[in-house]
Amino acid sequence: MRAFHGTLIHSPKLGEIEILEDTLLVVADNGRIEAVEPRVDRGKVPELLQARGMTGNQNDGEKSIDVADVQYLERTQFVAPGFVDTHNHAPQWGMRGMGQGLHILDWLDRITFPHEARFADPVHARRIYARCVTAFLQQGVTTASYYGSRHAEATDVLADICLEQGQRALVGKCNMDRNAPDTYRDTDAAESLRDTEACLAHIRSLDPDGRLLQYVLTPRFAITCTPELLRGLGDIAARSKSEAQPRGLAIQTHFNEAEQEMASTRALFPEFRDEVELYAHFGLLTPRTILAHCCYATDDELDRLGLLGCGVAHCPVSNMTVGGGFMAAPVRAFLDRGIPVGLGTDSGGGFSSSMLDAMRQALVASNAREVQSKGELKGLTIPEVFHLATMGGARVCGLQDKVGTLEVGKEFDAILVNADPVRPGVMTMVEEEDSLATVFEKFVMTGDDRNIEQVFVRGRLVKS
């Protein structure tokens, strides 16, 4: 068991930040939050723990807290939920920042596909993926939704590493059987589907109860998938629904990302009026679907997505640097319709793997969208982007009952932030007169991984 006393900060509701001072938080040995007691005097902590029967080294064979091991936080420290990255390309970890400014399909052909083709070598995959997962944990990303490469063996390696390092993850083999080089595409739909089933079976064998790992069906996008492949993936999604898992498998794809991509999709699938109709036809739009980008969408498309319950992975950094334009997604329009929204780093397309950078760029993008819409779509606020990075992302990934906030019964996926770390970084200095709200704002707007001293997933310390 673990216990902390000090400040907790989380966002249970969009637009609201809850700052709990002098709070005792207790994590049971199963990784769940057992108690959150606000307004507890520091000197009363041992007495309160004893009253709850939580102290001692062993109690009838059950683990309990040694009072001496309670972490008492300083004024510049606080505990917050871990970040949820709803859209990430793990094979692109080593190519971040390359090809900035290229149109999306040119960027794929010239930069991305040759780079991802190297993951046919599982040794190469393990080297890159180990660095990738370590770095995301260092930056407080406790949950990530990963696109693997098109290679089944490399995707299995990615899942292995996530489990080894203790990161919560959705992992999927990238499905693509056309419009890619012969060196980097599935031979046909049948091979792609066989490999998908094999990867799904591997992840279920690693983590049968889905405590940390889940498989996510991953058609890259319609351009690289034949109708046969899309239909087969939809069939897998339909078969995955059961009494125990009524919503079935998670699904992720790129959606209305760039004008070049949308024009190519219309040329390949002229029988559908838009991408909503296309993906829905193949059974790939469900409440477990994560749609990356959604930079361009009509009101009609948004209304239909809202009815289908799909979530959006907003990737503001990559939207503004790769794809062919300053693509400020209409996030306020999503939120106004109740569409779940989380943030994604889209590392590879995005030059930064930092969720803090994603939050800041989301503010910039929303301000631009407010100007473009002549004030109709209001810009986001700091509490709102923090919510998208935590609870919003958990909702998009179907994990809202497990993580995203610091509430009793949820699993302890969290970061311990120090605004005045031993190794100073670029964060704005904390002044004596600063309120906790000011300290929090300074961290969101200017902090980095040096301010994240500890990271926990299901109560396990994964960064110290």
pLDDT in tens, 176-192: 999 999 999 999 999 99
pLDDT above 70 for 21: yes
Q: pLDDT band at residue 58, thresholds of 50, 70 and 90?
A: very low
pLDDT above 90 for 438: yes
At residue 384, φ and ψ (nearest 5 deg) are: -70, -45
**DSSP calls for 353-388:** --HHHHHHHHHHHHHHHHHHTTTSSPPP-HHHHHHI
Which pLDDT value is given to residue 122?
A: 97
330 C-beta neighbours (distance < 10 Å), count:
23
pLDDT above 90 for 252: yes
pLDDT above 60 for 4: yes
pLDDT in tens, 131-153: 999 999 999 999 999 999 999 99
Which pLDDT value is given to residue 217?
A: 98
Are 125 and 156 contacting, i.e. CB atoms less than 8 angstroms apart? no
Distance CA 312, CA 349 (A): 17
**DSSP calls for 25-58:** EEE-TTSBEEEEE-S--GGGHHHHHHHTT-BSSE
Which pLDDT value is given to residue 425?
A: 85
Burial classification of residue 246, based on how many CB atoms lie within 10 Å of its CB (0-12 exposed, 13-18 middle, 19 or more buried): exposed
Distance CA 116, CA 124 (A): 11
453 C-beta neighbours (distance < 10 Å), count:
16
Which pLDDT value is given to residue 16?
A: 97
Are 23 and 8 contacting, i.e. CB atoms less than 8 angstroms apart? yes
pLDDT above 60 for 291: yes
pLDDT above 50 for 401: yes
> What number is the average pLDDT over the span 427-445?
96
> What number is the average pLDDT over the span 28-33?
95
Which pLDDT value is given to residue 56?
A: 58
pLDDT above 60 for 384: yes
More confident: 405 or 246? 405
pLDDT above 90 for 436: yes
Give the three-state DSSP class for 205: helix
More confident: 424 or 134? 134
Query: What residues form DSSP beta bridges with 8?
Result: 20, 79
Q: For strands 289-293 and 77-81, give the pairing.
A: unpaired
pLDDT above 80 for 67: no
How many Å from the N-terminal Cα to the C-terminal Cα in the chain? 17
Q: pLDDT band at residue 325, thresholds of 50, 70 and 90?
A: low
**Token pair in block for residue 368:** 């631009």
Name which of 416, 419, 418 is nearest 442 in CA terms: 419
Question: To 10 degrees, the CA torsion angle through 58, 60, 62, 67?
Answer: -30
Question: To 10 degrees, the CA torsion angle through 145, 150, 154, 156?
Answer: 60
Q: What is the mean pLDDT of the chain?
A: 94
Element at 339 (helix H, strand E): none
**Token pair in block for residue 410:** 């949820």
> What number is the average pLDDT over the span 86-102?
93
Q: Which of 16-25, 57-66, 70-79, 329-338 has the lowest mean pLDDT?
A: 57-66
Which pLDDT value is given to residue 324?
A: 66
392 C-beta neighbours (distance < 10 Å), count:
27
> What number is the average pLDDT over the span 352-376?
95
Residue type, 274: D
> What number is the average pLDDT over the span 446-457?
97
pLDDT above 70 for 276: yes
State how far the alpha carbon of 146 is from the alpha carbons of 53, 86, 214, 219, 451, in Å. Answer: 41, 8, 10, 12, 25
